[in-house]
Copies of this chain bind each other. A is one copy, B any other.
Amino acid sequence: MDRSGHDSARRSFLKGAGVAGLAVMAGPALAASSDEVTWDQTYDIVIVGSGFSGLAAAIEAKRKGAKSVAIIEKMPVFGGNSAINGGLYAAPDTPLQQEEGVKDSPEIMVADQMKAGRGIADETLLRHVATHAREGLELCLEVGAKFHPFLQQLGGHSVPRTYQTTVNCGAGITQPLYKECKRLGVVLVNRAKLKRFIRAGNGRVEGITVDTRYYYDRDVAEGPERHIRATQGLIMATGGFSQNVRLRMAQDPTLTADVGSTNAAGATGEGLLQMLRLGAIPVHMAHIQSGPWASPDEGGFGYVSNYSIFNFPHSIAIERKSGRRFMNEIADRKTRADAELANRDEQGNPDPALMITSFKHANQHANARKVLKYGVGWKFDSLEKLAKNYQIPLEPLKAQVEEYNGYVETGVDKQFGKSMAKAKGKYLEAPFMVVRLWPKVHYCQGGVMINRDAQVLDSQTGEPIPGLYAAGEVTGGVHGVSRLGSCSIPECIVMGMTASRHITAEA
């Protein structure tokens, strides 16, 4: 009885839908059916998005025997937002940890992440990523990614476990991955924008319709629509929505267009929204992370972000009005971003905090020269000149520097409990470098819910949507309230690989 009523409604739908109606009905909102679609192209595996997740998924698919793999990218260039990220990769039990004598394990890394996630992170997914993070790093190394020969200890991590590309940028990973994709014969299609999913009668996602020759800047597609079939699986690796002002404002009205973002322009989340229309479960979309290492003096991720990530362990961040520290400089991102945002004048306008570093230590990071060259960081011969320039009360500042140097000496930060391991012997001494700090929208913890096989789950049944996988920032729940720095790349690479492993094992 259910079924007959069912069918009759559906049949009416089929009969009644005229051309005018269809223009709306079959818009991006709806999934089309695969029956009798004339496929323009057919691949074993189709991947939407060409950042870390998409590229790693493609390589792993080929390695596991997929005959044909395609990557679909809406932007003119490949690499997505990954190509402009900080190039920081956290993993436990790595060669550099062995060299540096750092004791670490997947469990310790998961514990750090659970703490930052404020109890609502997905421990199963975190453990899966931490356990395979070293494999992901090996993939990067195998394809030719180059990393600095030392580890960093980023905010919220209890030990140094973070590699960084020698170019201090995600492109140091996406470019070698991209070249490997080419070498393996992965089909790479740019300027192709996902329009809708195509599903089989049994509900399985069979492929997608894309607009071709898509020009992002004008939001126009000049080429024909194409139906692309994925016989084994479709992997959505479309990233976050930091650049979708409407969607981020829906979650947090303060994240207006005026608030900066570190992300590439294409990070607008259409792939995520399309999956919600299929019935994917939205998770943690209100948890949008702002980067506490950003500068109000430049656009996007800029030069300061990596500079300050590197320097925070042996620097002090001070409130301009008082000349005093106001946070643990390597606390997790949310703790620091919230603390920085509290730096305001009497009218509530931003009065950005200042990060002070000894020039000799700051200058060990390649960006120090760029920061000075582009006028987004400044060098001072003495504390007096520094204080005068920013109208900081001199005596409290002097006392603060002296007090902090005492913590460097003893290895114990009595003010904020900062781990002083990476500050050993690094006293604050003239000449000084200064950059200003103000958070920017950086990362969306939220997205669609997946299981440990990277399958997208259906909101009404809790079961996987057949044929549909997702990996990377488009997924949600992994990190909880706040993601730790350098934990995105391992997640993207591991979950991209995981999706392809599951698809090829099932095929």
Contacts and interface: CB of A to CB of B under 8 A. Distances in A.
Given A120-B251, A273-B279, A460-B270, A16 B29 contact: no
A7 B32 contact: no
A5 interface: yes
A387 interface: no
Nearest to A123: B253
A459 B273 contact: yes
Interface residues of A, number: 81
Given A460-B29, A460-B273, A446 B24 contact: no
A436 interface: no
Interface stretch (A35-43, A85-93, A390-398): A35-43
A21 B13 CA distance: 15
A26 interface: yes
Interface in A115-130: 119-123
Interface in A25-52: 25-38
A435 B345 CA distance: 45
B10 A25 contact: yes
Nearest to A3: B23
A9 interface: yes
A17 B14 contact: yes
A281 interface: yes
Contacts of A224: 1, 5
B9 A26 contact: yes
B38 A16 contact: no
Contacts of A25: 10, 33, 199, 201, 203
- Kindly list the 8 A-B residue pairs having the minimum CB-CB distance in the complex, ordered from nearest: A21-B201, A16-B35, A5-B225, A14-B14, A13-B33, A12-B36, A24-B203, A282-B282
16 contacts: A2-B211, A7-B22, A7-B26, A10-B26, A12-B35, A16-B37, A20-B202, A24-B203, A29-B203, A120-B251, A120-B252, A250-B283, A251-B284, A270-B460, A277-B459, A286-B287
Interface of A: 1-3, 5-10, 12-38, 119-123, 196, 198-203, 209, 211, 221, 224-225, 227, 246-247, 250-254, 270, 273, 276-279, 281-287, 446, 449, 458-460, 462, 477
